[in-house]
Amino acid sequence: MNIGRIAACKRNHIDPFAYPRDVLDHINAHPVHRIEELLSDNWLAARMTATA
């Protein structure tokens, strides 16, 4: 993960190690038309929606 992604995670109050782990765990089953949900800026909201 590059410094930009780590900074984005910190800016969004996301664990920079949990984010890529979760993305890698779910990317195979994630719909292509919703790929932007996996960006760190959108990931937390998408995870909250998925668990609600």
Where is pLDDT greater, at 39 or 3?
39
As to burial, measured by CB atoms within 10 angstroms (0-12 exposed, 13-18 middle, 19+ buried), residue 16 is middle
**Per-residue pLDDT tens digits for 22-42:** 999 989 999 999 989 888 878
Q: Look at residue 10 in the predicted model and tell me its pLDDT.
A: 86
Q: Which of 12, 48, 50 is nearest to 30 (CA)?
A: 50
The answer, yes or no, to whether residue 5 has pLDDT greater than 80, is no
Q: What is the pLDDT of residues 9-21, one digit of tens each?
A: 888 888 888 888 9
Q: Decide which of 36 and 48 is more confident.
A: 36
Model pTM greater than 0.75? no
